[in-house]
Structure 1
Amino acid sequence: MGGPACGDGVGRAAAVDFAAVFAALPTAYLLMSPDLTIREANQAYLDLLGRTREELIGRYVFDAFPPAPETLDADGVNPLQTSFERARDTGLPDHMPLFRYEVLDQGTGRPVSRAWSLISAPVLDESGVTQLVLQRVEDVSEYLAERERLAENRADGSWARLDGLEADLFARTQELRAVLASREAATRRLAAMAQVVLQLAAAERVADVTDILAGAGLAAIGADGGAIALRDDDRGVVHLTLTPSLGERAQRRFGTVRLDSRLPAAWVARTGETVVHGSQAEAEAWTAEMGEVIEQSGQRSWIVVPLATGGRLLGSLLAGWAVERTFTADEVDLVQAFAAQCAQALDRLRTLALERRSAERSRQLAEQLQRSMLSEPFQPDHCQIAVRYLPATGAGQVGGDWYDAFLQTDGAVSLVIGDVVGHDVAAAASMGQLRSLLRGIAVAGSPGPAQVLDTLDTTIAQLGLATYATVGVGRLEQTAEEVARGVTRLRWASAGHPDPVVLDELGRLVDVPGAAGRLMLGVDRTSTRGEIVLALPRGATVLLYTDGLVERPGSDLDVGAERLDRAAVELAHLPLDELCDQLLDRLVEGRPTDDVALVAVRLHRQDRPRPAEAGPSRVPEAVTEPGGHP
């Protein structure tokens, strides 16, 4: 059987629809979950029982079909339930040669006794655990009714005719047994294929698909070994992954094959045609290289089918047998059906890999864009400023959080913390716009924090920026008299942002009352915001943060804020940079699910030498000294 067996290999494999096959089976089948809840029934089953899918799907089977008292055994046990459970628990098919049950006659509306021959077959997962129970129902009522009628007429002396009919019935029974055996084998193949489909749907890597081929896949198609060959069009080759049964030597020798090769793995991947070799002679007649393939792999007959989906050829699937044999059309169809399922899984994995790479590139771009605008802060002469930023873990989940610190023209220090709604490149771009606008507003006339936020909100609306953000603005300011006394005032306003954590010189929490008017930016351009003012002594610490530091899935935001307060108090004695690092270690487990931005400020103590991290003793030109004159 050398050469292509099927000219339409791609179309035939892609056309297999197991749901349609199940629905069209002429024999009645019922599919149940392990707890015997009905999951599906084909049309033959519905016709046999006179029921509809709506009446059955989702119901416990013995609620849908309550057993009649006469069907129970001497101990009151339902033998049909026992059969279901035995198949489920043993992982083996269970037979009930004869079972009587009453069904509703659709013509008369009366119950009619029927005789059934039943087989219950388990559908196993890769670890051998039953996932579904498949029941096949064969109606043998007519055979039994005929035999009983003849037995009643024995008194009329028609023994010869009865013997003949019984002999005929025996012959029919033998035929029925053969048919049932064939259908049982088909049931096992259907159950095995159902297992394969379940496993392929859960595959997360290409290696998983190959592992399924080496396990449940070979069992489903009855092969001794196999391989998956995937096209690499950039290099003009196909890469083969062989099942362990074919040996490491075969994998090393045929792991990569040129796409233009005559070997079936490459030829089928290139043309989409199916190749069947029933013997070594046929294989070598196809190409002499098959002699080495057979020697290395130990497989003497082959079915090679395309892996195709959506009109695209992904590669080929090889199924091998250790003995020479003649393949039926059904066997070729089964391998093609398996290949169709593999192709769908591989295409899904390929698409998922592309999406992940694209998302990762987007995440990296957003992170680079964001980091480019999050520069190291300047250091004033009367305080130290430390900043930290952690991007979110998820691909593309960065871009919204930012911090800033700069001098205003009157010598005050502005501190900014913000969080733009969204986590992508667009959010990073919006963040850059808001950061620049806020800086420009803040250094023009040295407005207070509330005025900065209100002006920024109006500017957002005027420029038509479709963005929303929470922002907190703090301003460290001093008069000349306050400079002499070592006191700094923190003026604070918020547009929907969490208030800062403030610690005094002894590391104790300072109460921060909420300011009025806290609506986030981008909602109402006419909204106004209030301010609060706190007097801070030398040695005080201020922490501004975004909600990624305290927010956890499934946990209340207030709980996270309380954790931050406790940690800040416990770590207040540490140098500022170490305090920031320890806070992140305690509150963020690994990389966060949301961006984290943190600004920490510590006022230098008056009773200690000026620390090395202190900034310049003079402010830049055109900036007023605190409490003095330009």
Structure 2
Amino acid sequence: MTDAEIDYAAVFRALPGMVALLTPQLIYADANEEFLRLSGRTREQLIGRYLFDVFPDNPNDPTATGMRDLAASLRRVVATGERDAMALQRYDVESTEQPGQWEQRFWSPVNAPVHGPDGRVVLLVHRVEEVTELVRARGAPSGSRSRVLEAELYTRARELQELNERLRQSHAREREVALALQESMLPAPGQLGHRRAAVRYRPAVGSLNVCGDWYDLVDLVDGNRIGVAVGDVVGHGLEAAGVMGQLRSALTAASRVAKGPAQALDVLGRYAHVVDGAESATAVTTFIDFDHHTITYSSAGHPPPALVHAEGRVEFLDQATDPPLDARPDPIPRPQAATAFTDGATVVLYTDGLIERRGEDIDTGLDRLATSLVRHKDADPETLADAVLHELLPPGGATDDTALIVVRL
């Protein structure tokens, strides 16, 4: 049987568990038969309505926070684009037949994103495991066993929830410190002097996967030249921020004395070999010569820079790509290549958070970037940088941090 012959709508309706589809605005788009039956709601009472208008928290019980916890989980999925499994929750569900009467339910939800072609979250799959009957120990000889088991399970669920909240708060504090450390290490765009340039850094949303990305802008010592580079450290948090600062500083120093970008990356690779946490870091550096109108470049496992020629053609600088830093036990000289440009061209360097999406080929992300750059090629660097971030990053932010440099040539 082929996909075309399978009635997926019928499959969805017949799924043996409670499953609903929600929009990113938390509006019910669909629900299967089991969800309708166990929630005690009809299709008309669900579809097209806001989830928490259908299932509000019990206003008579301040401890009834199940719906608020569910809202936090669902919004986390929209923001991060990642699946979120919740601990067992107690929910007070209002009776449709007796308004004002609330029944305790015990549900274990899992919320998962459905991504569109552009990598954005377009739907949420809200799957619920109904365990109320298990918690209430149906068939017990007396109600006491049921109440004891219910209380124990609910207590454990609340303890897990409180532990998760403490972990999130701890992560948030580390995230703030790491971001402040990174900001102090990254160079200011003013280092380019009269050159028109824009730089952007966007931290990851809802996670500690921040502070591994970096950029570098440096005036080179010979001739009318500058060096522009970006890099990405594997890891996150304070450790990644520290490694990032070491690698950026080393590349700045190497670029000032190297004969070309390949030699600068050779030096950086040898340095990365003795820096804990620098394994598999990536970087790409370009030497831009304004007198000879050339860009010489070399890449250590990093996505290619994009050169937007004055007439609107996009050229990805991918002819000198080598493995990441410290990838070889015995380093060999890295390759480098050169390309010409005319006045009015724009070079764009970035990290993988801008173009990569889970389950998507990288060429799709590169095509998306090229389309955006052509659309805004006549804009000034600041406007162009903002437009590219707006069009390529998910609305709620990406799950990986993103660095972007735009230089008008």
TM-score scaled by length of structure 1: 0.43
Structure 1: where are the runs of 5+ without partners?
A: 1-33, 38-88, 92-123, 130-198, 220-328, 604-630
Q: CA deviation at 1:354?
A: 1.2
Q: 1:209 to 1:587 in 2, by over 3 A?
A: same
* 8 Å Cα contact 1:448/1:475 also seen in 2: yes
Of the three residues 149, 152, 161, the one matched with 1:340 is 152
Q: Which residue of 2 aligns with 1:599?
A: 405
Return closer, same or farther for 1:505/1:331 CA change in 2, 3 Å cut-off: closer
Match of 1:216 among 96, 103, 108: 103
Q: What SS does structure 2 have at the residue aligned with 1:383? A: coil
For residue 335 of structure 2, give the secondary structure of its aligned residue in structure 1. Answer: coil
C-alpha distance in structure 2 between counterparts of 1:382 and 1:530, whole Å: 30
**1:257-292 per-position Cα deviation (integer Å, ceiling 9, x unaligned):** xxxxxxxxxxxxxxxxxxxxxxxxxxxxxxxxxxxx
Residues 510 and 215 from structure 1, CA distance in 2 versus in 1: closer, same or farther, beyond 3 angstroms? same
Shift of residue 544, structure 1, vs aligned partner:
0.6
For residues 513 and 338 of structure 1, the distance between their equivalents in structure 2, rounded to whole angstroms, comes to 61
| Contact 2:231–2:351 under 8 Å retained in 1 | yes
* Residue number in structure 2 paired with 1:433: 246
Counterpart selection for 2:40 from 127, 150, 153: 127
Shift of 1:459: 1.6
The aligned residue for residue 62 of structure 1 is none
Partner of 1:518: 322
Q: Distance in 2 between matches of 1:565 and 1:542?
A: 12
Match of 2:171 in 1: 359
CA distance in 1, matches of 2:215, 2:353: 13
Equivalent in the alignment of 1:505: 310
Report how far residue 531 of structure 1 moved.
Answer: 1.0
Taking a change above 3 Å as real, the CA distance of residues 510 and 334 of structure 1, as seen in their structure-2 partners, is: closer
Report the Cα offset of residue 440 of structure 1: 2.1
CA contact (8 A) 1:408 1:414 kept: yes
Q: Which residue of 2 aligns with 1:102?
A: none
Q: Does 1:577 align with 2:382?
A: yes
Whole-angstrom CA distance in 2 between matches of 1:553 and 1:126? 33
Tell me: CA distance 1:552–1:401, structure 2 relative to 1, closer, same or farther (3 Å).
same
Identity %: 34
Deviation of the 1:511 alpha carbon: 5.9
SS of the residue aligned with 1:395?
coil
Q: Secondary structure at the match of 1:211?
A: strand
1:589: how far off?
2.0
Once the two structures are TM-superposed, the CA of residue 380 in structure 1 deviates from its matched residue by 4.2
Name the SS for the 2:217 alignment partner: strand
Give the Cα separation in 2 of the matches to 1:426 and 1:338: 43
Q: 1:203 to 1:345 in 2, by over 3 A?
A: farther
Deviation at 1:446, TM superposition (A): 4.1
The answer (yes or no) to whether the contact 1:519–1:527 under 8 Å persists in 2 is no
| SS class of match (2:190) | coil
Could you say which structure has the higher helix fraction? 1
> With structure 2 as the length reference, what TM-score do the two structures score?
0.65
Write the distance in 2 (CA, Å) between the matches of 1:338 and 1:128: 24
Deviation per CA, 1:68-97: give whole Å up to 9, x if none. Answer: xxxxxxxxxxxxxxxxxxxxx9x9xxxxxx
Aligned ranges 1:170-249 → 2 under 5 Å = 204=70, 209=90, 211=92, 215-217=102-104
State the match for 1:368 in structure 2.
Answer: 180
Larger radius of gyration between Structure 1 and Structure 2 = 1
8 Å contact 1:407–1:413 — kept in the other structure?
yes
Instruction: Figure out how many residues of one structure are paired with residues of the other and give that number.
Output: 298
Asked whether the equivalents of residues 203 and 209 of structure 1 are also in contact (C-alpha less than 8 Å), the reply is no
Structure 2 CA distance for aligned equivalents of residues 576 and 432 of structure 1:
25
2:214 to 374, 383, 402: 402
Distance in structure 2 (CA, Å) of the matches to 1:346 and 1:513 = 52
> What is the aligned-residue RMSD (CA, Å)?
3.4
Q: CA deviation at 1:461?
A: 1.8
Superposition deviation, residue 378 in structure 1? 2.8
Do the aligned partners of residues 351 and 381 (structure 1) sit closer, same or farther apart at CA in structure 2, a change above 3 Å counting?
closer
Q: Is the 8 A contact 2:234 2:277 kept in 1?
A: no
- Confirm or deny: 8 A CA contact 1:377 1:406 kept in the other structure: no
Deviation of the 1:465 alpha carbon = 5.2
